[in-house]
A and B are shown apart, each in its own frame.
Chain A
Amino acid sequence: MRSFIYLVIGIFFGIVMYKSEAASWFRIYEMFRFDAFHMYGIIGSALLVGIVLVQLIKRRKWQSIYGEPIQIHPKEKSFARYMYGGIIFGLGWALAGACPGPMFTLVGAGYLSILVVIFFAILGTFVYGLLKDKLPH
Chain B
Amino acid sequence: MDFIMKPWPWYVSGPLIGLVMFILIMSGKNFGMSSNLRTFCTICGAGRTSELFQFDWKKQRWNLLVVIGTVIGGFIGAYFLSSDTAVAISPETIKNLESLGFHSAGSAYLPGELFSLEALTQFKSLLLLGIGGFLIGFGARYAGGCTSGHAISGLSNLQLPSLIAVIGFFIGGLLMIYLIFPILF
Contacts and interface: CB of A to CB of B under 8 A. Distances in A.
B15 A46 contact: yes
Interface of B: 4, 7-30, 33-34, 36-38, 40-41, 44, 46, 49-50, 52-53, 61-63, 65-79, 81-82, 87, 89-90, 92-93, 96-97, 105-106, 108-111, 114-117, 119-120, 125-126, 128-148, 150-162, 164-177, 180
A120 B131 contact: yes
Contacts of B15: 45-46, 48-49
Contact of B65 (A10, A32, A78, A89): A10
Contact of B115 (A30, A87, A114): A114
| Contact-residue size bin, chain A (C-beta under 8 Å from the other chain) | 35 or more
B27 A5 contact: yes
B165 A82 contact: yes
Contacts of B29: 6
Most A CB within 10 A of own CB, among B10, B33, B63, B97:
B10
A124 B168 contact: no
Interface of A: 3, 5-33, 35-51, 53-54, 57, 62, 64-66, 68, 70, 72-79, 81-101, 103-114, 116-130, 132, 135
A125 B70 CA distance: 20
28 contacts: A3-B61, A3-B65, A9-B27, A10-B71, A14-B73, A14-B75, A15-B81, A25-B111, A32-B176, A35-B92, A43-B14, A51-B156, A75-B154, A81-B144, A86-B166, A90-B168, A91-B176, A94-B174, A97-B111, A108-B77, A113-B120, A123-B133, A125-B137, A126-B46, A127-B134, A128-B138, A129-B41, A129-B53
